[in-house]
Amino acid sequence: MDAHVACCRAIQRRRAVQDKKIRVSIIGYGFVTRHFHMPLISSVPGMQLVAIGTQRPDQVELDDPSIEIISPERAAVAESVDLVIVASVNESHYRFAKLALEAGKHVVVEKPFTPTLNEARELAVLAKRVGRHLAVFQNRRWDSDYLTVRDAIRNESLGDIVHFESHIDRYAPNVPQAWREEPVPAGGTWFDLGPHVADQVLLQFGLPERVTASFAQQRAGARTDDWFTVILEYGRMRVVLRGAQVVPGFGMRFLVHGTKRSVMKQAQDIQEHQLIAGLLPGDPSYGVDPDDVYVFDAADASAQRRAVPATRGDQSQFYVQLERAIRGEGPNPVAPAEAVALIALLEAAAISATEGRSTTLPLTQEERVAFENDRRSHS
């Protein structure tokens, strides 16, 4: 076979792979599967949901009778599947992700990645060994509120950032019957909501020098943390992460102070409400945020705040970018090194809150370098 024929056949094989849809299975059929993964996958032409692994077949049949229903274990290893999404309870993430990777599948794991740092490390090593993409569903990297503040930091000449504050609050004063509300591995509000705000900060600023955290149980009958404040140190800059379940009024999402200007974003991203209502990416109004960001200029304290239009959000970009990565056309949207660093931060904050002391991230130098390399690939 001459070189020209070999080249042509290689091109044909590559085109065949590119033309083939990536077949997807999802393990777990709860809120995030129904209102996030399924609609977002449906908006990506190169992906096709073919199976759901669940112990709740009646609900799946009611919602979409065209989807094959199989056991969670089979969904992790089925030959008909290329990509497995693990959206089951947190303590099962490691087991199902490991099964899928060992079966040669690409894997997405719902946040939080794993309950422990050691499990996160093991999965990252395994993904590298088997040569498959392993990503964590940090969909709120593509929220309008975060993107708007990110763009304001880049475009509004704030000076040196000295304070960055991020709130993710809910009003759920009654404790529901849910596994997240139990003192189980990776249960509680910090492991539920904390991964969103912490991941955005790691993406924006990198690894902090020190972590100081306080957790509380504020609702009657609470069995695990439902309030947190976590302070991250970056030289003279301080990052404050806050989340709570008893917040009747939503006053602020982000507050940023620079040496020249301040930025405030009040309302949260609206994509969750849009997806629940059945609005899909591709609709002209999807991800459009009516809440402007406000910029305050230190050079003219008497001036009115200046409104800057919000950046449009689009959480489907997670799967758009993952499809490209699987086809060899781009980077993993949330690579294992980033996921390992986030779990290290979650663990460090939990230790700080329990022991009443500041901590540092328990990462090796190799893990720190890998994290920074992957973070730079998104800039």
At 306 the three-state DSSP class reads strand
Q: Return the H-helix or E-strand segment holding 205.
A: helix 189-205
Least confident stretch, 7-11, 60-64, 176-180, 197-201: 7-11
pLDDT in tens, 314-346: 999 999 999 999 999 999 999 999 999 999 999
**What is the average per-residue pLDDT within 72-84?**
97
- The boundaries of the domain holding residue 125 are 3-137
Residue 356 lies in a domain: no
Mean pLDDT of the chain: 93
**Are residue 223 and residue 211 in the same domain, yes or no?**
yes
Q: CATH no. for residue 203?
A: 3.30.360.10
* pLDDT number for residue 69: 96
**Are residue 232 and residue 177 in the same domain, yes or no?**
yes
User: Which tokens go with 69?
Assistant: 């229903």
* pLDDT number for residue 378: 87
Residue 107 lies in a domain: yes
Residue 335 lies in a domain: no
Residue 158 to residues 133, 164, 234: CA-CA distances in angstroms?
37, 12, 17
- Total domains present in the chain: 2
Q: How far apart are CA 289 and CA 282, in angstroms?
A: 15
The β-bridge relationship of strands 161-169 and 237-244 is parallel
* pLDDT number for residue 55: 86
When pLDDT is cut at 50, 70 and 90, the band that residue 62 belongs to is confident
Give backbone dihedrals phi and psi of 11, rounded to 5 degrees, phi first. Answer: -65, -40
Residue 100 lies in a domain: yes
**Are residue 153 and residue 48 in the same domain, yes or no?**
no
pLDDT in tens, 286-321: 999 999 999 999 877 666 789 999 999 999 999 999
When pLDDT is cut at 50, 70 and 90, the band that residue 281 belongs to is very high
When pLDDT is cut at 50, 70 and 90, the band that residue 56 belongs to is confident
At 35 the three-state DSSP class reads helix
Least confident stretch, 234-238, 243-247, 249-253, 355-359: 249-253
Residue 368 lies in a domain: no
- 51 closest CA partner among 36, 64, 35, 32: 64
* pLDDT number for residue 199: 98
The residue out of 263, 290, 314 marking a domain boundary is 314
Q: How far apart are CA 336 and CA 339, in angstroms?
A: 5
